[in-house]
Amino acid sequence: MTSTETRTAGRLGDSPLRPDGTLKVTGEFAYSSDLWHDDMVWGVTLRSPHPHARIRSIDVTEALRVPGVSAVLTAADVPGENAVGLEHLDTPALADGVVRYQGEPVALVAADHPETARRAAKRIVVDYEVLPAVTDPRRALDADAPLVHASREDNLVRAMKIRRGDPAPTAPVVVALDFEVGMQDQAFLGPESGLAVPDGEGGVDLFVATQWLHVDQGQVCRVLGLPPEQVRLTLAGVGGAFGGREDLSMHVHACLLALHTGKPVKMSYARDESFFGHVHRHPAWLRYEFGASEEGELIYAKADILFDGGAYASSTGAVVGNGGTLGLGPYRIPSVHVDARGVYTNNPPCGAMRGFGCVQAAFAHEALMDELADRVGVDRVEIRARNGMVEGDLNITGQVIDSAAPVAELIRTVRDLPLPPEPEGERDIRELPGGASNTTHGEGVVRGIGYAVTYKNVGFSEGFDDYSTARVRLEAVAGEPVATVHTAAAEVGQGLITIEQQICRTELGVDQVVVHPKDTSVGSGGSTSASRQTYVTGGAVKAACEAVRTSVLRRAAALLQRSDLRLDGDKIVAESGEVVAGLVEVLDEPVEETVEWRHRPTFPIDPETGQGNAHVQYAFSAHRAVVDVDTELGLVKVVALDTAQDVGRALNPDAVVGQIQGGSAQGMGLALMEEIVVQDGHVKNPSFTDYLIPTILDMPPMQVKVLEYADPHAPYGVRGVGEPPTISSGPAVAAAVRAATGKALRRVPIRPEHITF
Amino acid sequence: MRIELTVNGTRREADDVWEGESLLYALRERLGLPGSKNACEQGECGSCTVYLDGTPVCACLVAAGQAQGREVTTVEGLAGEELDPVQQAFVEKGAVQCGFCTPGFLMSTKDLLERNPEPTDPEIREALAGNLCRCTGYEKILDAVRAAAVAKR
């Protein structure tokens, strides 16, 4: 929980320290899995072992007999509507009659010790009738494919078409490829967890790690059959998110158990359960074709993109929207033909992860851009500069790019950054592929360099009412002006609370800014996703500060009987520059304002042509990767991963660089090591032993070049920062491995056997 | 069973400990010390790193009973009146984002600097390879370790 007070100076453009930093290094910061309550019991979840099965019966008798067990619940115990979901209410809180993926929650147990609860859960007897499963998304739309949801006509979640320009274009140079992207996991370190506390009057308080308190609240209310006043959410400390906390996990379950037992209920997933407890990045199958002039100028592009949505829709529709509208990359393309689809299968549900639909597409369009460059004999950097969007261009949905689009500058900037020294002489084995495993001293090792560029929408798109709410209070405390900023926008580690303080200091001239705990007692802050919080909640905090300032000056005008006043730091100043009062002198009563703030509207795209102003803002980035590959063993060492990104305006430069570095690591992970392996609907590697994320040994040094072309339409000129680095880093790494090995490598993550065979 | 151990210099005991409980569970749920983190509970992420008689271990891999009569130091025991230089460096260098990995990194870093006060970058990377971070890409963690090494001299 994040109630914090600080006197640290730090206006916009500074990099003040995080207000929660000290708590986090002393172990005192209360993450959702740290919560504790007198008399609390532990909740655990029994999950389906089958990808698709009918539940004939559930017998909880033996589980209830275990000493220490206080409740065993199934779908029959759900008091409200047993349906949640971000876009479609297609997900039961507890499986009712059928399970559609391995790991689907079937029953809950509460007991006085987590091990007691786990043992009791094993005594629940579920009689399953295994059903045929759809596990290959490429077959999901076949006429004879089993239906994942019997109530639907087919397994389609969403199909999007984009048609622009010449419907039958031709070009002198044509290149094409098929690409495949594996299923990535967000792998946030703080497990799904929280504490539900019954209020004794039929309601419940839930302390939980999430990305959007209010959308959680609505879903929990529906299942509990309670109004929002009786289901209050407070943000507990969040141990990373990256999209994996947009959907509910243990929220409803803990509340059900708490209301049933009348006791506080703690739930905390172990890592293996976490792999089943949240959605993943969609695996994708992509078929791309570029037609170009002899000089490499794009004439047309075609793309067919298939996303495996898994058993429940989650945000698959919006991922399809992004894959479709943004999936050809930041290029000027006269004629376009795109089909993007997301389908239901009996695989693990997929939804939001950093980069959201653009990550998969970028691997394909960047691999094909290299192919085109080589075919026409143009340098790989220059072909991107030549085709890259510039401000004023139309994107493939016909939307004018109405602020900076520095594609050429970004890609040339990364090209011009210093390269790591060429290897010579005896090398430290820790810097070689295989590292301390001592698999090579340099023999068989080849170096390669790869480039990639991308763009990403910022904020929610396609007509979504995307807003945030901020409440700012200004008062005198012990003779000093103190601002309190209250939003429900989730701090997940990215540093929004620091930005909120910086905005208040800048707008109100105060040093002390208290960040109120994030909860549902203030209006929605919208989701901490889509790189949107500094833009949208930042915009709301700015607007609330302006409203406070107006009220303060109105009060000062009445008090001082003059109208030429302005706020300058903590002084009230007349037009002449004369200080007429201190701020605290007019704060005998606190001033408080609450503002709901919206960015420019976006619009749905035309269902037939895919044309329309779907997005509010675009953010651009480029990467250059340098790799050493042991071609005999197929091991890769990333030697350098350098990047340039336009951030509009860096409100907190250190935090911006931190986002770019961390995002780059996740993209690199997908290129080389990260994949949830699913066979016949079963997850094979739900652990950090078998699902690998980059370690400090895997990550190379990074040079980060930040460009600041202010977006005139955005508060302070900011541009979303978090996602672009995750999109362009992976394709650059894959390109570098291709350059080193000469292999086509049309699938990520690239495995050793892809290189050696 | 009952266990007795010294945690951060204080004699502590816990009753009714189930034999299968880890030291991590005992610290977090029985002794009110949740600073050591439960990111994987299978010895892969390093977020639960504590010192057992001065040696860094993953508290999730140590049975609570194995700590009987021994000395344990957790992240809560690092700071005195002021933050330890390692803690200070992590805050100042932006090495903390979500912070869930931070306690483990602090314990591993402090151990490294005690063994090797002037580590090279490859030595830092090798020493911290057992600690996973998902937010930072490790660059600012390296900055913090370098700064802490300087500050401790």
Asked if the Cβ–Cβ distance from B106 to A25 is below 8 Å, we say yes
* pLDDT at residue A423, rounded to an integer: 85
What confidence score (pLDDT) does residue A6 get? 40
- Taking contacts as CB-CB distances below 8 angstroms, the residues of chain B near A25 are 75, 78-79, 83, 87-88, 90-91, 96, 99, 102-103, 106
Indicate if the pLDDT at residue A4 is higher than 70.
no
Mean pLDDT of A555-571: 92
Residue A8 pLDDT level (bands cut at 50, 70, 90): very low
Verify whether the Cβ–Cβ distance A664 to B83 is below 8 Å: no
Q: Which residue of A has its CA nearest to B122?
A: A430
Mean per-residue pLDDT for A211-218? 98
Q: How many Å is the Cα radius of gyration of chain A?
A: 27
Q: What CATH fold (topology level) applies to the domain A21-30+467-598?
A: Aldehyde Oxidoreductase; domain 4 (3.30.365)
Q: Over the stretch A351-408, which tens digit does the pLDDT of each residue have?
A: 999 999 999 999 999 999 999 999 999 999 999 999 999 999 999 999 999 999 999 9
- State the pLDDT confidence band at A44, using cuts at 50, 70 and 90: very high
Contact yes or no for A687 and B47 at CB 8 A: no
Q: Is A610 left (phi over 0), alpha (psi -120 to 50) or beta?
A: left
Q: Are A450 and A737 in contact (CB under 8 A)?
A: yes
Q: What is the pLDDT of residues A489-538, one digit of tens each?
A: 999 999 999 999 999 999 999 999 999 999 999 999 999 999 999 999 99
Query: Cβ contacts of residue A395 below 8 Å, gap of 6+?
Result: A325, A389, A401, A618
The mean pLDDT value for A84-91 works out to 97
Q: Which residues of A touch B74 (CB under 8 A)?
A: 27
Please give the Cα distance from A663 to A728 (Å, whole number).
10
pLDDT at position B107 is: 98
- Tell me the pLDDT tens digit for each residue of A247-272: 999 999 999 999 999 999 999 999 99
Question: Which of B36 and A9 is assigned the larger pLDDT?
Answer: B36
Examine the pLDDT at A5 and tell me if it is beyond 80.
Answer: no
**Contact indicator for A729, A668 with CB cutoff of 8 Å:** yes
> How many angstroms away from the CA of A24 is the closest CA of chain B?
6
Query: Averaged over A55-67, what is the pLDDT?
Result: 98
Chain A contact set for B96 (CB, 8 A): 18, 21, 24-25
Question: In angstroms, what separates the C-alpha of A20 from chain B's closest C-alpha?
Answer: 9
| Model pLDDT for residues B13-30, shown as the tens digit of each residue | 999 999 999 999 999 999
> B134: exposed, middle or buried (C-beta count within 10 Å: 0-12, 13-18, 19+)?
buried
Contacts of A87 (CB under 8 A, 6+ apart): A313, A314, A315, A316, A317, A318
For residue B8, the model assigns a pLDDT of 98
So what's the pLDDT on residue B153? Answer: 83
Question: Average per-residue pLDDT in chain A?
Answer: 97
Shortest Cα–Cα distance, B128 to chain A (Å): 7
Q: What integer pLDDT is reported at residue A7 of this predicted model? A: 37
Candidates A142, A110, A141; CA nearest to A124 is: A110
Left (φ > 0), alpha (ψ -120 to 50) or beta: where does A535 sit? alpha
User: How much is the ipTM here?
Assistant: 0.99
In the structure, what pLDDT confidence band is assigned to residue A3 with cuts at 50, 70 and 90? Answer: very low
**Stretch B64-69: mean pLDDT, rounded?**
98
Band the pLDDT of B152: cuts 50, 70, 90: confident
Mutate which: A20, A26, A689, A697, vs B, most B CBs within 10 A: A26
Tell me if A21-30+467-598 shares its fold with A280-461+605-756. yes
| Chain B residue at shortest CA distance from A354 | B135
Residue A2 has pLDDT above 80, yes or no: no
Per-residue model confidence as pLDDT tens digits over A673-699: 999 999 999 999 999 999 999 999 999
Which of chain A's residues have a Cβ under 8 Å away from the Cβ of B28? 34
Average pLDDT of the residues in A465-489 = 97
User: Residue A456 pLDDT > 60, yes or no?
Assistant: yes
Q: Is the pLDDT of residue A479 over 80?
A: yes
Of B91, B106, B135, Cβ closest to residue A662: B135
Degrees (nearest 5) of the Cα angle A667, A671, A677?
A: 110
Question: Hey, where are the domains in chain A?
Answer: 21-30+467-598, 33-131+192-268, 280-461+605-756
Nearest CA-CA distance, residue B137 and chain A, Å = 4
Q: Give the homologous superfamily in CATH for domain A33-131+192-268.
A: Aldehyde oxidase/xanthine dehydrogenase, a/b hammerhead (3.90.1170.50)
Name all domains of chain B by residue range, CATH numbers in brackets. 3-77 (3.10.20.30), 85-152 (1.10.150.120)
Mean pLDDT, chain B, rounded, equals 97
Burial (CB < 10 A; 0-12, 13-18, 19+), residue A129, is exposed
Regarding pTM above 0.95, the answer is yes
Contact state of A189 with B37 under an 8 Å Cβ cutoff: yes
Residue of A24, A666, A693 with shortest CB distance to B132: A693
Q: Are A19 and A500 in contact (CB under 8 A)?
A: no
The verdict on a CB contact (< 8 Å) between A687 and B98 is no
Task: Tell me the pairing of strands A125-130 and A53-59.
Answer: antiparallel
Inter-chain residue contact A189 with B41, CB threshold 8 Å: no
The CATH topology of domain A280-461+605-756 is: Aldehyde Oxidoreductase; domain 4 (3.30.365)
CB A355 within 8 A of CB A727: yes
How would residue A553 be classed by pLDDT, with cut points 50, 70 and 90? very high
